[in-house]
Structures are given as C-alpha cells and as structure tokens.
C-alpha cells in the first residue's frame, strides 16, 4: 500500500506541476511571480499587454490567435481590437487562425539590436515565471549601454526597456561585500529617477498579468491537464484501495 501512495505522490507532482525547479543564474534572487492560469481576466489583460509591448518584435510562433480567443473567451471583434494589428502581404486583415508571427527578420534584428530577437512561445518554460517577472522589473539606467539601460537579472542585455514609460526610470543602488578577501560590488536595490505612468504596485500587477499570459502560451493545455489530473489521481486512489482489497482476498487462503 505504501508503494501505491508513493506512486500517487510522484504522479501528482508530474501532473499538477508542483515540482518547479528554477535557476536564477549568477546568484540573483528571483521574486515570486503571482501566477494563476485559471484567472482568465488576468490572462486576457496579459494578452493585451503582450500584443501592445512584445508582439511588434517578438513572435509566438507556436500559438494561434483563435486558440487564445477560445481559451480566454473572446469574440473575434475583441480579439482584433486588442491583439491583431497587422495585415497580410496583400493588405488583407490578418486571419484569426494564423500564428502569432512578426515581420521583423533576424538580419534586421542583428543590425538594430546586435542579436536575433527570440520567439517567446516557450520562454516561460525555458526561463521560468519567476525569472521573467523579476527581469521585467529589474531594468535600470546605464549610460554605458547602447540602449541606455541594463538589467540586474540579465546583465548587458540587448533588449531596450520597452515598458519604461509605465514603470519609469530607476537607477541601481549598489552595496559592497567581501568574498574571500575581495571586495565585490552588487546591486542591492533600485531608486526611482523618473516616475512612470503607473505606481510600483500597478506596474507589478501589469507585469504579473503579462507573465501569466506567457506561462499560458508556453503550454495552453496546462489548465485542462491540471483539472484532469485531479480526476486521474482520484481514480488511481480508489483503484489502489480496490486492488489492495482484492489482493488480500485472493491471498488469504495461500497463507
């Protein structure tokens, strides 16, 4: 019976996604992202934020507009007004069944940013929600960088701070620590230089919705998978009890 219980726990971890191992890299402490893929209002706000700020450069080549509309309960008009701002090669409106692609080529991106712009379909799975949540809130002014900005989580990043009007401009506050007799300077926090159009709490909530949406597009079926997982676990638990009782019944005469 104990083996069955252990098996159920392992299956639960796999199905429900309870095991989440992420590495920050460079010893950076990541902030916990308030993710809730069952919150459709948050996902919808995140989808609109993604379209407004990310989709001009970054694509989500594994996702289709109509899948988003179906999952987030949007009609075609709402989808077009808030997410689809492009037209086809012949000038026709982009079809809602198309993939979320962008016109920017890798060659153009390398000329402008020095590197190709990555697709964001699976970034949440590759980096983790906490990494993205911390990253989008950790840009700071750096006059030595081409964009005038740097990032605490991703040092010397080529991406400009596209959300600076919302967050504002902040500068890094440093601290000096001694490691093995060597003084090391690290970022202790940030100090606002130019306020944005949002308060800190509003901006954090905005980024949380955006990251929530990116977690969703990285695995659109996960909400369904987690809901189904509980049913599967309940079935296995009841079946384990039945199997154990049958085992005792069949083997009682052997002993």
- pLDDT tens column, 47-97: 999 999 999 889 999 999 999 999 999 999 999 999 998 877 777 888 999
Per the structure, the complete domain to which residue 77 belongs is given by 31-220
Q: What is the pLDDT of residue 255?
A: 60
The residue to which tokens 């289709």 are assigned: 64
Residue 20 C-alpha from the chain's centroid: 13
Please state the rounded mean pLDDT for residues 7-20: 46
Greatest CA separation for the chain: 83
Q: What is the pLDDT of residue 79?
A: 94
Half-sphere exposure of 49 (CA within 13 A, CB side): 22
Residue 13 C-alpha from the chain's centroid: 20
Q: What is the pLDDT of residue 17?
A: 46
Length of the chain: 255
pLDDT band (50, 70, 90) for residue 102: confident
Helix intervals (H) in the chain: 2-16, 40-53, 65-71, 76-82, 106-113, 123-127, 129-135, 164-167, 200-218, 222-251
Average pLDDT over all residues of the chain? 86
> What are the pLDDT digits (tens) for 35-44?
999 999 999 9
**Residue 58 in contact with residue 103, Cβ under 8 Å?**
no
Structure tokens at 179: 């490691």
Q: Tell me whether strands 139-141 and 99-100 are parallel, antiparallel or unpaired.
A: unpaired
Domain assignment present for residue 237? The answer is no
Q: Exposed (0-12), middle (13-18) or buried (19+): which is 213, by Cβ within 10 Å?
A: buried
Q: What is the pLDDT of residue 179?
A: 78
The residue to which tokens 């990310």 are assigned: 54
Domain assignment present for residue 157? The answer is yes
Q: Provide the phi-psi class of 219: left if phi over 0, else alpha when psi is between -120 and 50, else beta.
A: beta
The structural domain count of the chain equals 1
CA distance 65 to 69: 6
Domain assignment present for residue 3? The answer is no
Domain assignment present for residue 231? The answer is no
Beta-carbon contacts of 251 under 8 Å, excluding residues fewer than 6 positions away, are none
CA distance 230 to 16: 8
Structure tokens at 130: 């906490």
Q: What is the pLDDT of residue 142?
A: 96
pLDDT band (50, 70, 90) for residue 26: low
Q: Tell me whether strands 60-64 and 139-141 are parallel, antiparallel or unpaired.
A: unpaired
Percent of the residues in the chain that have a pLDDT greater than 90, as a whole number? 57
> What are the pLDDT digits (tens) for 116-159?
889 999 999 999 999 999 999 999 999 999 999 999 999 999 99
Domain assignment present for residue 119? The answer is yes
- Give 247 or 88, the one with higher predicted confidence: 247
> What are the pLDDT digits (tens) for 68-81?
999 999 999 999 99
Q: What is the pLDDT of residue 25?
A: 45
Beta-carbon contacts of 171 under 8 Å, excluding residues fewer than 6 positions away, are 140, 141, 190, 191, 193
- Give 255 or 193, the one with higher predicted confidence: 193
- Output b/e per residue, 86-123; b: 16+ Cβ within 10 A: eeeeeeeebebeeebebebeeeebeeebeeebebbbbb
Check which CATH number belongs to the domain holding 165 and give it: 1.10.760.10
**Residue 187 in contact with residue 172, Cβ under 8 Å?**
yes
Q: What is the pLDDT of residue 247?
A: 81
Domain assignment present for residue 8? The answer is no
> What are the pLDDT digits (tens) for 168-218?
999 999 998 887 878 888 899 999 999 999 999 999 999 999 999 999 999
Domain assignment present for residue 92? The answer is yes
The residue to which tokens 């079935």 are assigned: 235
Domain assignment present for residue 5? The answer is no
């Amino acid at each position: 019976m104990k083996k069955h219980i252990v098996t159920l726990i392992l299956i639960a971890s796999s199905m429900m996604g309870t095991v989440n191992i992420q590495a920050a890299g460079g010893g950076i402490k990541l902030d916990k992202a308030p993710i809730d893929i069952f919150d459709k209002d948050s996902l919808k706000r995140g989808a609109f934020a993604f379209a407004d700020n990310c989709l001009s450069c970054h694509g989500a080549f594994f996702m289709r507009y109509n899948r988003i509309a179906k999952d987030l309960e949007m009609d075609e008009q709402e989808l077009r007004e808030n997410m689809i701002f492009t037209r086809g090669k012949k000038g026709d409106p982009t079809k809602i069944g198309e993939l979320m692609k962008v016109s920017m080529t890798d060659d153009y991106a390398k000329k402008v940013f020095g590197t190709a712009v990555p697709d964001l379909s699976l970034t949440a799975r590759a980096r983790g929600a906490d990494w993205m949540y911390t990253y989008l809130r950790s840009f700071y002014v750096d006059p030595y960088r081409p964009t005038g900005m740097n990032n605490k989580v991703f040092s010397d990043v080529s991406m400009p701070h596209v959300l600076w009007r919302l967050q504002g401009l902040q500068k890094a506050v440093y601290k000096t620590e001694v490691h093995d007799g060597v003084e090391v300077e690290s970022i202790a926090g940030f100090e606002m230089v130019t306020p944005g159009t949002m308060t800190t709490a509003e901006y954090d909530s905005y980024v949380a919705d955006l990251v929530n949406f990116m977690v969703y597009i990285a695995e659109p079926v996960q909400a369904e998978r987690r809901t189904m997982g509980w049913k599967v676990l309940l079935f296995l638990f009841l079946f384990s009890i039945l199997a154990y009782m049958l085992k005792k019944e069949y083997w009682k005469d052997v002993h």
